[in-house]
A and B are shown apart, each in its own frame.
Chain A
Amino acid sequence: MTDLTDFFHHHPVGIVTVSGAVFLLLTVLVAIRPAVELKEADASAPQVSDTAAIARGRAIYLAEGCGYCHSQLVRGVPVDTRYGRPSSASDYAREAPPLMGTERTGPDLANVGHRQPSTMWNLYHLFDPRSMVPQSVMPAFPWYFRIVDASAAPKDGIALVLPEPFLPAGKVALPKPEALDLVAYLMSVKQR
């Protein structure tokens, strides 16, 4: 042992080589090998292809960092039963990246498609979360909406009508395609 320590005291390349090799070996054991095995298991998971709108919506979910505050992971523990059945590996098989998350500043969304199946509720909530949940601390996403005069709103489209202070008097909010995509994604998130 002393000899070995003495060797490292004289050979920087020895430290790099040996500590690098040990690190790589342990990495294979606890990261690479399990990841490869899970990847093989994923291949047998059912293949469902998302619609284009859902895929675009998921990209917005990633861009806005929703996953920092919302997990999509139901653990097999009593605390989580409210969110649905425990998540399984196959729930994430086609996700890149999977959105399990590590924080619940907001509620888990693993089954939000079941829990909030209303397009209108989701649109109002994205435009301003406090219009639906007064105590919410979630960011509002007004940049996915156009605020126009109520008279200018198309008769056959969706228009959000809200009192002040959410919208100025006489104005309505029209969802841009991105808002509809994001809602399409949210309504598709279902594990059970």
Chain B
Amino acid sequence: MKLSHPELRSRLAAEYVLGTMHGAARRRFQTYLERDAALRAEVNQWQARLVPLIDVVTPIEPPRRVWQKIEARLFDANSTQTQASTVVSTPNAAKRGSASGLFTWLTSRAGLTFAASALCGMLAVLLLVRQLPPYDQPMRVAVLEDTSGARMVIEQNKPQLLEVRMVKPWKANTSSSFQLWILPPDGAPRSIGLINQDGSTKIEMKELEGLLEGGLAFAVTREAKGGSVTGQPTMPILCKGVIAKTPPREANRSANKPANTI
């Protein structure tokens, strides 16, 4: 199947969304989608066009057990296996472990500006921290920057809550997702989750502290819609910022508190 002709691409995207593509053809098209951002954009456009048709579908009440099963899968402490894979907003996260080469790749692509921008980030962090009241000091804070300056501020004010505030949003793009990573001193970046393209994102997860532990900096990449399918960054870093931590005593004390979700 050649996917070079624009009209063919659009037609296949339309038929994928419409629903005429089944089974093997559908799966084959999905493999194209994974590696073709323009094709994903085409699919997103068709979704926006066609899916509102559901407005005319007559609702049918599902049985009560569906909700019970959803609750059991997500919140039942006994089904921790599913909980671990679903509660956390980290699609495709932590799939691959042996990716130290990727960190090299990341740092090389992030390039030589890393140190310079890290320094700027530190200055910004110091300014920011100084303005915060002492009793409300975040556990971690970072200002993520690119060449044009600060893009977003990330704060961890609770052991299980990370807040991302966009300072200067990117242009909205329906075909991609922004994915937040934590960069450990060595080894592969770890996915924290997807963030909104503008406004703010709150990422709440039980395992947050463990995920962030030892991380030196946050970074954001623009990935395929839904996040990187490999569990590792596949695109260049858009912005990054080193993490300023509060004294370890405070952080450890907070981290050792029992899980306490909303």
Asked whether A and B interact, the reply is no
Residue ranges of B at the interface with A (Cβ–Cβ < 8 Å) = none
Residue ranges of A at the interface with B (Cβ–Cβ < 8 Å) = none
